[in-house]
Structure 1
Amino acid sequence: MAETVLEVRNLRVTFRTLDGTVEAVKGIDLVVKAGETVAIVGESGSGKSQTMMAAMRLLASNGEATGAVEYRGRNLLELPKSELNKVRGAKISMIFQEPMTSLDPLYTIGNQLIEPIMRHRRLGAKDAKAEALRLLKLVHIPDPERRMGSYPHEMSGGQRQRVMIAMALANDPDVLIADEPTTALDVTIQAQILVLLAELQKKLGTAIVFITHDLGIVRRLADRVYVMRRGEVVESGPTEQIFTTPQHDYTRMLLSAEPTGRKAPPAPNAPIMLDGRNVEVTFRIGGGFLAGPPMLLRAVDRINVILKERQTIGIVGESGSGKSTLGRALLRLLPSEGRIRFEGRDISTATKDQMRPLRHEMQLVFQDPFGSLSPRMTVGQIITEGLRVHEPNLTRKERDQRAKEALREVGLDPVMRNRYPHEFSGGQRQRIAIARAMILKPKVVVLDEPTSALDRSVQKQIVELLRKLQADNDLSYLFISHDLAVVRAMADYIIVMKQGKIVEEGPTDEIFDDPREAYTQTLMAAALDATRFRAEV
């Protein structure tokens, strides 16, 4: 029998809020043994992440944990901070769900990797730098020598997630807690990361606690599964047993949830809402008095896009391919070359003041909902902030009513509008971000990974919601995602990007059923082959 390295007994987690005490975790038990992978699954808000945040004593200031979390017989909830710090980051390490908010924007990636290595492994600066470089290569960061000097905002969401994984692996931990570690990754890199984690586990005997909403990953990677709902464990057991003979109705619902349906194309004579011609975005990286001239990175390379009314264009490709940059450029949120027209009006050279009246008609739902939601504002204030600018004549009562309606539309209880972002799960925060965009009744919406933090059952609801909003309000979407199952259910036209260029485009069914380019074929194979990763591991 393998040794138990982490044991949770009767863990309860509560939060004090303006609406009273919220019980997020309700007396759960779980066991993690050396060298095994334990998955914790459930819908957003089920208590998955809060369970492990409590175990690491990283709860928000209004949170409290009771019970026992024992690491090799020592209760972490009772350890003095000096002793706890010898365990956190060294013996137990965590990959957080939102890499942008976990990485310090003021320090380079290299510095943020080197510091914990020097602290926990007592290496000198030179050896720590070499180890940091090795870790970046291990998680497949392109051009790792140069990326050591990059800041978090200079990297894509997927690249930042890989840096977080490298930081978590830096000190060869006994237990690796992975909270949605592949959420921001495209399918090909996701496959590499899963193989990497499995290889590390075999080599070092590391136990992995895998928190995820992606049941496909769970089946391929986990030895045992705990299914959580509303703060309780409703079912647990060996992975194959959970997937083949689930006992609880909730588990069966999770296993059957998948975005379905197909998006009909717009009418042939539908008006053009957004027209980008030869759009080009170039970034200057590095440079300075001692560093020499900066390097020019062409993130978007002379791309043409035509978006019609009621159309959804899905933009897919690996992280760093330029998907998000293209979306922001078309909304004039980044400097770009080329011509961009919105409803026939040339906005290529429009100033900030000239763009302001159009902003409520051109909205963006960000990839990282936590980083884009002010921690100092309630959800109600966040959602209605745009109304203050674009509909200043509304009364406070009218704004509040609009906030209630927007929250209902995205499946959240309007009572929650008095809470703050940190009191919500990742999936709930993503829905808040969608509500903030939709409350302004836009015409064009760029959705940048809008379902990346959501479990499958909620993804299905959001896909259906977005399609309904589109039909009811004649909306046009640019849907940026690495989740090809969601893209197929949402989009009627696909653009495949690689290194800032379009490698293939066409109607959705045509791209999925008969991709012409080798790169597109690789993406499809990585996303749709459910057995490959287990064979590789």
Structure 2
Amino acid sequence: MSTPETVLSVNDLRVRFRTLDGVVEAVKGINLKVGAGETVAIVGESGSGKSQTMMAAMRLLASNGEATGSVDYRGRNLLTLSKSGLNEVRGRKITMIFQEPMTSLDPLYTIGNQLIEPIQRHRKLGAAAAREEALKLLKLVKIPDPERRMKSYPYEMSGGQRQRVMIAMALANDPDILIADEPTTALDVTIQAQILTLLAELQQKLGMAIVFITHDLGIVRRFADRVYVMRQGEVVEEGVTEAVFSKPTHPYTKMLLSAEPTGRKAPPAPNAPILLQGRDVEVVFKIGGGFLAGDPMLLRAVDRINIALRKGQTIGIVGESGSGKSTLGRALLRLLGSEGSIRFENRDISKADKGDMRPLRRELQLVFQDPFGSLSPRMTVGQIITEGLLVHEPSLSAKQRDARACEALEEVGLDPIMRNRYPHEFSGGQRQRIAIARAMILKPKVVVLDEPTSALDRSVQKQIVELLRKLQKDHDLSYLFISHDLAVVRAMADYLIVMKQGKIVEEGMTDAIFDNPREEYTQTLMAAAMDPTKFRLSA
């Protein structure tokens, strides 16, 4: 097989940021190449420098950043090009899509207007011709009913549809290189599979190169021809993807490849008592309506579900966004109004009001997906962790609360000396440990974990999974584990519930469902998450 022509060459690239604490060197003299029509992956944990490498190449660094070295695109150094010269390349020959399209799409403009603008800017087409090209692009990325969607605003589209729009915008001017920075991290596995398949098909059709930035090694193995592994601003390993995966040479690469959560959760004893039980649980939301709008629409988010969580058990709840899994978890904790019966330790809490639930809150805890959003930036970690003790154990002295905070931090693997710091001073994995400590300090019996690892690197995910399993074993906890990451669910749960559109479509012992899913929807979920043969259309 002939070596493709090199279209992008990065040589001795260094990226520095001036901060109040001095100069931070984010990228330390790396070299990489991208061939015409190939897919190159840049992988590494958060903070490895992979995104800043491509941001520097596109001259999109923050104002306190600077880049040196060279980024050669077909004989032109992008780092020294004039603004007009750069505009001929950026957005036309080299384009970029990001992890969260809502931060890149203007909420005040229709999808059609946002597609038409770059076409007119770079290709000098009239309004009618540019509109026709925009319509073609929406069809190319398989947006349903493209004529109607031209008039839609970003908030009216799903996450997967918005990402397709971003891809359409990136393809508007027939680029040589498409840079995709974590484009599927926030998406469900089935939508992720659709987006990756779409990118592979478009690459084959249009002949463009793709630079794929990610921390998901499963995607890299399925999608990339070659891979660069970055750590602390340096490339520590590179090569053909299959060779790097089958025979890694650097210890860091070996660590990343072994970071998949492993092990299996044993089920509780058959006679273990049921702690939390829901019968015919139903949650209905009213949408719209009003004096002029008429009767509201009814959305049945949870549709007559039965569930029983035993002491020491972990029930995994999986499904796409909008399936009702998070709504079910909140309804069982009485954080949402619902119909049906909900019992905790043989006590009917279906109609319990806020006052009735208060003494039970310490035993029914919730850990969120994004700890940064649920940790007050104005409170120290010690104050955050002990806040619940002020309500549930008001007789404790300040010294006793501080001692309990130290115990809780030690239990989740953090140094108690950190308790006087603020949330922004911690990494994502550390913040998740803080959120877990806040829940565990109250010594709960049931913990609902709502996507607690989805925003974390694989190696950090593995640490959190192992921590949660240890805490469960030490304290005989019961978990409801809500996630769309099936690898994590398999390692955590002994029983699995698969939800779709508010209903349970399949349930049973975790290994039985993973090994032999009966329902077509479950089979689709498993294939999207586990099938290593998908997306390799570029090879």
Cα distance, 1:490 vs structure 2:
0.7
State the TM-score, normalizing by the size of structure 2.
0.80
Alignment-derived partner of residue 385 in structure 1: 384
8 Å CA contact 1:303, 1:501 repeated in 2: yes
Aligned AA (1:201)? Q
Gaps of 5+ in 1: none
8 Å CA contact 2:366, 2:439 repeated in 1: no
> Does 2:119 align with 1:116?
no
**What is the alpha-carbon distance in structure 2 between the residues aligned to residue 417 and residue 170 of structure 1?**
50
Alignment-derived partner of residue 320 in structure 1: 322
Cα distance, 1:479 vs structure 2:
1.5
CA pair 301-83 structure 1, distance change in 2 beyond 3 A: farther
Which protein has the larger Cα radius of gyration, Structure 1 or Structure 2? 2
> Does 2:440 align with 1:438?
no
Alignment-derived partner of residue 234 in structure 2: 232
Alignment-derived partner of residue 45 in structure 1: 47
CA pair 146-32 structure 1, distance change in 2 beyond 3 A: closer
* Secondary structure of the corresponding residue to residue 281 of structure 1: strand
* Secondary structure of the corresponding residue to residue 183 of structure 2: coil
Alignment-derived partner of residue 282 in structure 2: 280
**What is the alpha-carbon distance in structure 1 between the residues aligned to residue 263 and residue 480 of structure 2?**
18
Identity of aligned residues (%): 71
Alignment-derived partner of residue 522 in structure 2: 520
> Does 2:402 align with 1:402?
no
* Secondary structure of the corresponding residue to residue 218 of structure 2: helix
Task: Count residues in correspondence.
Answer: 525
CA pair 256-433 structure 1, distance change in 2 beyond 3 A: closer
**What is the alpha-carbon distance in structure 2 between the residues aligned to residue 335 and residue 134 of structure 1?**
45
CA pair 172-257 structure 1, distance change in 2 beyond 3 A: same
CA pair 92-490 structure 1, distance change in 2 beyond 3 A: same
Aligned AA (1:450)? P
Alignment-derived partner of residue 183 in structure 1: 185
Aligned AA (2:44)? G
State the TM-score, normalizing by the size of structure 1.
0.81
Does 199-208 or 162-171 show the bigger shift? 162-171
* Secondary structure of the corresponding residue to residue 536 of structure 2: helix
The within-5 A match list for 1:66-145 is 66-72=68-74, 75-77=77-79, 89-98=91-100, 107=107, 111=109, 113-122=111-120, 145=148
Aligned AA (1:466)? L
CA pair 446-86 structure 1, distance change in 2 beyond 3 A: farther
* Secondary structure of the corresponding residue to residue 194 of structure 1: helix
> Does 2:337 align with 1:339?
no
Q: 1:246 aligns with which of 237, 245, 248?
A: 248
**What is the alpha-carbon distance in structure 1 between the residues aligned to residue 419 and residue 81 of structure 2?**
34
**What is the alpha-carbon distance in structure 1 between the residues aligned to residue 93 and residue 294 of structure 2?**
41
8 Å CA contact 1:449, 1:481 repeated in 2: yes
8 Å CA contact 2:267, 2:313 repeated in 1: yes
Does 139-148 or 51-60 show the bigger shift? 139-148
Cα distance, 1:489 vs structure 2:
1.1
Alignment-derived partner of residue 479 in structure 1: 481
**What is the alpha-carbon distance in structure 2 between the residues aligned to residue 128 and residue 292 of structure 1?**
39
* Secondary structure of the corresponding residue to residue 301 of structure 1: strand
**What is the alpha-carbon distance in structure 2 between the residues aligned to residue 44 and residue 314 of structure 1?**
27
Cα distance, 1:37 vs structure 2:
1.1
**What is the alpha-carbon distance in structure 2 between the residues aligned to residue 91 and residue 289 of structure 1?**
52
CA pair 141-47 structure 1, distance change in 2 beyond 3 A: same
Cα distance, 1:224 vs structure 2:
1.4
* Secondary structure of the corresponding residue to residue 439 of structure 2: coil
8 Å CA contact 2:110, 2:153 repeated in 1: no
Gaps of 5+ in 2: none
Q: 1:505 aligns with which of 507, 520, 526?
A: 507
**What is the alpha-carbon distance in structure 1 between the residues aligned to residue 328 and residue 458 of structure 2?**
27
8 Å CA contact 2:110, 2:150 repeated in 1: no
**What is the alpha-carbon distance in structure 2 between the residues aligned to residue 147 and residue 322 of structure 1?**
29
Cα distance, 1:487 vs structure 2:
1.4
